[in-house]
Structure 1
Amino acid sequence: MEKYLRVGVITSPHGVRGEVKVYPTTDDVMRFKKLDKVILDLGRGETRELKIRQVKFFKNMVILKFDGVDTMNEVEGWRQKDLLITRDQAIPLEEDEFFITDLIGLNVVTDEGETLGTLTDVMETGANDVYCVKTPEGKELLLPAIRDCILDVDLDKEEMLVHVLPGLLDL
């Protein structure tokens, strides 16, 4: 299980005073108003904790200002870097809700005991999510994240139990 959860990706500096534009990767963009700090993932295991001074919203983006960061030059190298939070900062999940990062890598098994493969991605389509499963043969199977199809998720066993609806295996 991942230690951190991604809430956004810095896209570019915003203005000359050290603000950054952030593409939110969280379901609730207003959560940025409640955050005091985030962790900047600089890559190669290097991180930096940043205290949030100001939050603004512009179109589909979040504009963040951090304490002690006052010039565009300071943030120029942060393009495409992830902003993370610790799990204790996460919004509590409802029953049968999971963080995408916890689903990636699960072994997907049918209710008939057949191993379908490994969950490799989650596509957010609007109506319902779609789980991408890579089969042992290297093919991709798409499963709708609906109750009729997804029967159980056991993070401890790292397994997802599914019922394959008619037509889904016709690759």
Structure 2
Amino acid sequence: MEDLYQVGSITQTHGIRGEVKVFPLTDDISRFKNMKNLLLDAGKEGYISLEVENARPQKNLVILKFKGIDNINDIEKYKGHGLYVTKDNRVDLKEDEYFIADLIGCDVYLDSDKDNRFGTISDVMETGANDVYEITLESGKTVLVPAIKDCILDVDIEGGRMEIHLMEGLMD
């Protein structure tokens, strides 16, 4: 099966007409308005393709209505299950925006030593101002690098490579 990316998780039903509340795994919940098809991880049943009929935000959640699911009993058993998109159905990103799933595992190189791998991105922390990349070195030590233009010089998602400038004080 092709790569799937989780975009949310059904938390509970909403009303009796088959709507669900979804906890979004995206930094912009308005993206759900543009999603047409989602895959529901139905456990032993496999993945079920669902067409989004309506999406609207509610506080920090999204209320989704799927075409053909018009009764609470049709969807209730999927509470706690994940919703996914295929790589082709992910939303388009702006320049210098990346999916976290694509960044994890990228090899990191320093601008001062482009031939020797510095480490690997092991986590991305989302903060209010900017993301912070956790880079795990061969020694197991981790270094936190802010995702700002002064530090992140080049990102090649297809090649799984990132070039950074390590600012003074980050390795102390």
TM value normalised by structure 2: 0.84
- The percent of aligned pairs where both chains have the same amino acid is 48
Large movers: runs of 4+ above 6 Å: none
Residue 6 of structure 1 aligns to a residue in which SS? strand
Deviation per residue, 1:69-113 (Å, 9 max, x gap): 344344334233222223333332222222111111111121222
1:98 matched residue in structure 2: 98
Contact 2:53 / 2:67 at 8 angstroms: preserved in 1?
A: yes
Measured against aligned partners, the alpha-carbon deviations of 1:100-133 in whole angstroms (never above 9, x if no partner) come to 1111111112122243321111111021110111
Select 2:150's aligned residue among 134, 148, 151: 148
Determine the C-alpha separation between the residues in 2 that align with 1:15 and 1:98: 36
Secondary structure class of the residue paired with 2:42: strand
Structure 1's unaligned 5+ residue stretches are: none
> Which range moves more in the overlay, 125-134 or 114-123?
114-123
Match of 1:158 in 2: 160
Q: Secondary structure at the match of 1:30?
A: helix
Name the counterpart of 1:21: 21
Secondary structure, counterpart of 1:122 in structure 2: strand
User: RMSD over aligned Cα, in angstroms?
Assistant: 2.3
> What's the offset of the Cα at 1:145?
0.3
TM-score by length of 1: 0.84
Amino acid at match of 1:156: E
Return 5+ residue gaps in structure 2 as ranges. none
* Paired letter, 2:15: G
Q: Give the Cα–Cα distance (whole angstroms) in 2 for the partners of residues 139 and 71 of structure 1.
A: 52
